[in-house]
Amino acid sequence: MSKTKPISNNTETRNLSELAEPTGNIYESVKIISIRSNQIAASVKKELSEKLAQFKSDADALEETFENKEQAEISKYYEVQPKPTLVAINEFEENQIYYRKAEE
């Protein structure tokens, strides 16, 4: 198992030449990262929705709702996670994304 660097929650300046190196074209690299970022975002959204669905109540919308501590903890956990774009960039830099050209 290879060691990967921790993913920062902060945006970092990237060297475009290094980002373009695996594909030979910065636009192809950005497209690959974009597709992977969308996949990660969809996966996280689905996971979060499934967890929060457990707390869904059939009570009338006008009734006062109470704060559920577990629900708040789940939401806070997802708030502090790195953004999908940052995860995708890290995966691309670590050669953890499989991609191929359609014409190949």
Q: What digits encode the pLDDT tens for the residues 36-45?
A: 999 999 999 9
Residue 27 lies in a domain: yes
Residue 38 lies in a domain: yes
Query: What is the C-alpha to C-alpha distance for residues 60 and 31, in angstroms, rounded to an integer?
Result: 45
Residue 5 lies in a domain: no
- Stretch 81-100: mean pLDDT, rounded? 92
Q: Is the pLDDT of residue 63 over 90?
A: no
Residue 3 lies in a domain: no
Number of Cβ within 10 Å of residue 49's Cβ equals 9
> What is the total count of domains within the chain?
1
Residue 101 lies in a domain: no
Query: What is the C-alpha to C-alpha distance for residues 73 and 64, in angstroms, rounded to an integer?
Result: 20
> What domain range includes position 31?
21-52+68-93
Residue 33 lies in a domain: yes
Residue 59 lies in a domain: no
Residue 12 lies in a domain: no
More confident position, 42 or 53: 42
| 3-class DSSP state of 101 | coil
Q: Is the pLDDT of residue 10 over 80?
A: no
Indicate whether this model's pTM tops 0.75: yes
- Percent pLDDT > 70 in the chain is 84
More confident position, 50 or 2: 50
Structure confidence at residue 66 (pLDDT): 58
Query: What is the C-alpha to C-alpha distance for residues 73 and 55, in angstroms, rounded to an integer?
Result: 12
Query: What is the C-alpha to C-alpha distance for residues 20 and 55, in angstroms, rounded to an integer?
Result: 44
